[in-house]
Amino acid sequence: MISLNVECADEPGGCEPGGSWLASETKWLEQDLNENQSRCTLAYWHQPTFSSTAEPFTSDSAEGQAADAWWKLLYAHHATLVLNGHDHIYSRFAPMNPAGAYDPRHGIREFVVGTGGEALDTVLPNTPNLQAWADQYYGVMKLTLKPYGYEWDYESAIRSPKAPEGTPSSYSDKGSDLCRGL
C-alpha cells in the first residue's frame, strides 16, 4: 500500500514534473516499485486520475500531471488498485491503462470514494469504463486485501436529502478481483 501526496501547489517547485518536491516523490515511487515483490500493489492519493463527475479533475492541472506520471509508473509495475477521493461520489472503474482505455489483463482499477461530508457531485453515467456509481448517497467502502486478490463492499449510509423522488433508500456495490502483479 502506497500513500502519495499530490497536494503539491505549496511545495518547493510546486507540482511541475521537474519541480524538486514532486521529482523527489516520483523518484521515490519508482524506486519503491522497482524493489516491490508484492503480488498486489495499491496506491492512493487525493484527486482521481479518471473522473466520472460533471467537473472532472484534468491532467491539465499541475496535480493532474503528477497523478498521470504516477499512474504510468504504477501501470508499468503491474499495480492493482488506485484509490482516490476529491469527487464527492462513488465510482468503480474497469481496469485501465494510463490513457484510460480498458485493459482487463494489465490495467489498474480505480475507485473514487468521496461520499462523506460535503454536498454530492453529479456523475456522468456514460463515462468510459465506469462500471458502478452512486451520486445520491453518502457512504463508505470496505476493502479487504487478500494474498492474490481483493474484495470491495461499498454501502450507503444515508440517501441525499436532494435525491430525486423514486431514488431507492440505499445502494451497495460488492465484488472481488485478482491482483495484477508478478
Look up the CATH number of the domain holding residue 173: 3.60.21.10
In the chain, pLDDT over 70 holds for what percent of residues? 93
Which pLDDT score, from 0 to 100, does residue 87 have?
92
pLDDT band at 107 (very low <50, low <70, confident <90, very high): very high
Which pLDDT score, from 0 to 100, does residue 12 have?
75
Which pLDDT score, from 0 to 100, does residue 88 have?
94
- Structural domain tally of the chain? 1
pLDDT reading at 171 higher than 70:
yes
Which pLDDT score, from 0 to 100, does residue 128 have?
95
Which pLDDT score, from 0 to 100, does residue 89 have?
95
Count of H helices and E strands in the chain? 2, 9
Q: What domain range includes position 111?
A: 2-178
pLDDT band at 56 (very low <50, low <70, confident <90, very high): low
Residue with cell 497536494: 7
In the chain, pLDDT over 90 holds for what percent of residues? 69
The overall average pLDDT reported for the chain is: 90
| Strand (E) or helix (H) holding 29 | helix 20-35
pLDDT reading at 96 higher than 90:
yes
Comparing CA positions, the residue from 44, 29, 34, 33 lying closest to residue 109 is 44
Q: What is the pLDDT of residues 116-168, one digit of tens each?
A: 878 999 999 999 999 999 999 999 999 999 989 999 999 999 999 999 999 99
